Structure 1
């Protein structure tokens, strides 16, 4: 006859099998959606002989491989519009997404990883008109500001109602700037440099536009977003946070970001 201690152990094991933690194992393949628009030097397509390939490269791509590779966890990437991607993660059709800044709405909708990189905010203006006077982040509120659909401009001190986010691409936003529908277009300096470096439009040296950093604006920290709707959300967040390390960030920055930002 089993001892009382053995019976207690068996009961404990059975109880453990019925707990949420036991049911929260990660799936065989984690589903990750990303913005269809390129985000160099963090997430973009490799170029070969000047031609775009289908291979994803960049800092975030390598960070994913470092985290999931170490855990021997499979994942699948799907590109779609940024607004759709956020919605699919919010409602659990996708497990997670990448390269997002925090705001109150997103903190309610997702579990946010530790930050794994940061960027510098800039604004573009038209050279055909006097440059807007921006002495601090607060001055952006006095301007007609354009951005991109689905993007958060909370780090710029702006609410959704402060920014025209009807454009789906930076090119579309810059066209609105050129045609005097807005006074400024917001972008991340590292991304603008990355775009120029890989052969996309170089708006930093464009004859129609000027740019400046936003005075006094802190850097924008970027996170990975995990769906709150999937049963393994906490396990997935734990995996991500355990893999986001200062040494990994420094190594991948040296590999993927610094060469792009260096003139």
Structure 2
């Protein structure tokens, strides 16, 4: 990033010097279920190492390469990733929305992408649609969600959402089986799944499944989430924020968005 050679030169050595266990590799975890087009697994290498692709991977690689940092991403159940991050077993997680608990327990980078929210429901069960005119109307229905995901943006607390599954196919199956009336997801993520996962494409193109915008919700910002329990976390936060800001200013973030969401 041509705008940042001085700050990167200053920050990277500080980060490396504080690196735990004497390693320069940045330890990252993310949601094992995938979150396309931001991150997903696209096969494996000959030795079984997952090949990870996506917008978040590209943004991170751009910043890390300029800082001389290597990184390794482990795909874990999302709730486990967050728990290990909090304990300092990992330094960073990608693509986290904001809520008070996360702002208390972690450090969060500047936003590096935004998403729009829609709710999905069964056209077969509700041919005339759902009566959702404003955000509180969601509570009139049984809402399903994914284990460890954040739904506070929609005014839904832990008791308002059945989070008994961690995979989208099971979530859609619960909807069609009548175990819930709707689930909420990001439009961009559903587009990402339809482009990268054949099974999900079939499920999302099922004529029984339909969607509508969530009323009263602005675009949701997503951030990189850092552990407070690792010695170089503040240096890494400064590094990530500088990189994200520079990529936004020079148009690189916009180009990446177009690549993954044409």
Give the TM-score normalised by structure 2.
0.84
TM-aligned CA deviation for residue 46 of structure 1: 3.2
Give the counterpart of 1:81 among 70, 77, 89: 77
> Take 2:141 and 2:173, find their aligned partners in 1: how far apart are those partners?
17
> Take 2:16 and 2:27, find their aligned partners in 1: how far apart are those partners?
18
- Residues 1:23 and 1:78: Cα distance change in structure 2 (over 3 Å): closer
Alignment correspondent of 1:254: 255
Q: Does residue 114 in structure 1 map to residue 114 in structure 2?
A: no
Which digits, 9 at most, give the CA deviation of each residue in 1:49-69, with x for residues without a partner?
xxxx93211110011011111
TM-aligned CA deviation for residue 157 of structure 1: 2.1
TM-aligned CA deviation for residue 208 of structure 1: 1.8
Contact 1:204 1:211 in 2 (8 A): no
Give the counterpart of 1:57 among 53, 57, 66: 53
Secondary structure of residue in 1 paired with 2:212: strand
> Take 2:28 and 2:169, find their aligned partners in 1: how far apart are those partners?
26
Q: Does residue 125 in structure 1 map to residue 121 in structure 2?
A: yes
Give the counterpart of 2:176 among 163, 175, 178: 178
**Deviant stretches of 4+, over 3 Å:** 21-24, 246-250, 259-262
TM-aligned CA deviation for residue 109 of structure 1: 1.0
Which digits, 9 at most, give the CA deviation of each residue in 1:155-199, with x for residues without a partner?
222112211111111111111111111110111100101111123
What's the C-alpha RMSD, in Å, of the aligned pairs?
2.2
Secondary structure of residue in 2 paired with 1:245: helix
Contact 1:33 1:78 in 2 (8 A): yes
Secondary structure of residue in 2 paired with 1:166: strand
Alignment correspondent of 2:236: 236
TM-aligned CA deviation for residue 23 of structure 1: 10
Contact 1:109 1:228 in 2 (8 A): yes
Secondary structure of residue in 2 paired with 1:197: helix
Number of residues of Structure 1 aligned to a counterpart in Structure 2 = 237
> Take 2:87 and 2:53, find their aligned partners in 1: how far apart are those partners?
27
Matches within 5 A, 1:30-179: 30-46=26-42, 54-130=50-126, 131-179=129-177
Secondary structure of residue in 2 paired with 1:223: strand
> Take 1:100 and 1:23, find their aligned partners in 2: how far apart are those partners?
25
Point out where structure 2 has 5 or more consecutive residues left out of the alignment. Answer: 1-13
Q: Which has the larger radius of gyration?
A: 1
TM-aligned CA deviation for residue 260 of structure 1: 4.2
TM-aligned CA deviation for residue 205 of structure 1: 2.6
